Amino acid sequence: MPVAPFRIAGAAVEVAVPVRSGGVPGVGMAGFRGRAMERLDLEMVPYPALTIFLNLGDDLILDEANGIRTQGSSVVGFGTVGARGGGRDIDVIQVRLSPVAAHSMLGVSSGLSGQVVALDALWGREVERMRERLHATRSWDERFAMVAGALAARARAGRAVDPEVEFAWQRILSSHGRIRIDRLADETGWSRKRLWSRCRSQLGLTPKYGAQLVRFDHAAHRLAAGRSAAQVSAESGYVDQSHFHRDAMAFTGLTPKALAVAPWLAVDPLAWAAPAYAPRT
């Protein structure tokens, strides 16, 4: 369902969202299409979801902070700091997967934290076949349906996380990252050590880091919505404003003032208004 063109870093980009999620739990999708006068170069803000970029244009490039460059369709792991994405010919479907969904659909979510990986390294020739099919249609609805079908098939073929791990992730989300890990372990009926180990092996992140990332995401979007850093700090459970400042610098290298106007967050109210993978209500 296309919406009016949105200006991202000075370029007019068509933003499209699915009419429905496609019945795939833990999956959010959005499409972006446009041509920039100059190459876009946007710094990504880490998010509590694993991100797949299905590139249908000519020159999508993702750069990691360490200088490694990935061209074409790719996967950005949880908590990848300093990654930048850009291109001039923009035609891409961005898919956000909850850690629970990523485990079954990618199978290696635990090995992707903090890095960018070419999608064909995980899915092989399936990526090019999918790209050709997606490129052959200009209909966003058809594209979203194709991607949803492919992800649903992979979910059926993949291994599900333990029920306790899925429960723990949902509790982290519903508390906006403010639940204590000892309490979380008690609620699952596991020891803290076992919860830590299972979450790390199946979700690709520890309960503590996952909670920090969810809390930061909650705070960053409230900051981008116009709240002051002081309000955000108090609402999001930070000890004080300097605590939030430290998290902002650690996750993005930006001060809260710069984070509030980050182009990467500006499009979220349109593209990710009702995410199924990491609710922010």
Q: Residues for the chain: how many in total? A: 281
The boundaries of every CATH 2.60.120.10 domain in the chain are 6-157
Tell me if 8 sits within 8 A of 40, measured CB to CB: yes
pTM: 0.89
Could you report how far apart the first and last alpha carbons of the chain are, in Å? 23
For 163-271, CATH number out of 1.10.10.60, 3.40.50.620, 2.120.10.70, 2.60.40.60 equals 1.10.10.60
Close Cβ partners of 108 (under 8 Å, ≥ 6 residues apart): 122
pLDDT, one tens digit per residue, over 155-182 is: 999 989 999 999 999 999 999 999 999 9
Tell me if 172 sits within 8 A of 214, measured CB to CB: yes
Q: Which residue has the higher pLDDT, 273 or 110?
A: 273
- pLDDT above 60 for 219: yes
Alpha-carbon dihedral angle through residues 114, 117, 122, 123, given to the nearest 10 degrees: 130
The boundaries of every CATH 1.10.10.60 domain in the chain are 163-271
Concatenating the DSSP letter of every residue in 134-155 gives HHT---HHHHHHHHHHHHHHHH
As given in the structure block, the two tokens for residue 173 are: 């989300």
CATH superfamily of 6-157: Jelly Rolls (2.60.120.10)
Residues 78-94 have a mean pLDDT of 82
pLDDT, one tens digit per residue, over 109-142 is: 656 777 888 898 888 899 999 999 998 988 999 9
Q: Which of 3, 96, 89 is nearest to 40 (CA)?
A: 89
The Cα 182–Cα 92 span in angstroms is 41
252-256 contacts, C-beta under 8 A, 24 or more apart: 252/43, 252/45, 252/46, 252/81, 253/81, 253/82, 256/223, 256/229, 256/232
Of the pLDDT bands very low, low, confident and very high (cuts 50, 70, 90), residue 280 is very low
Predicted local confidence at residue 274, as pLDDT? 60
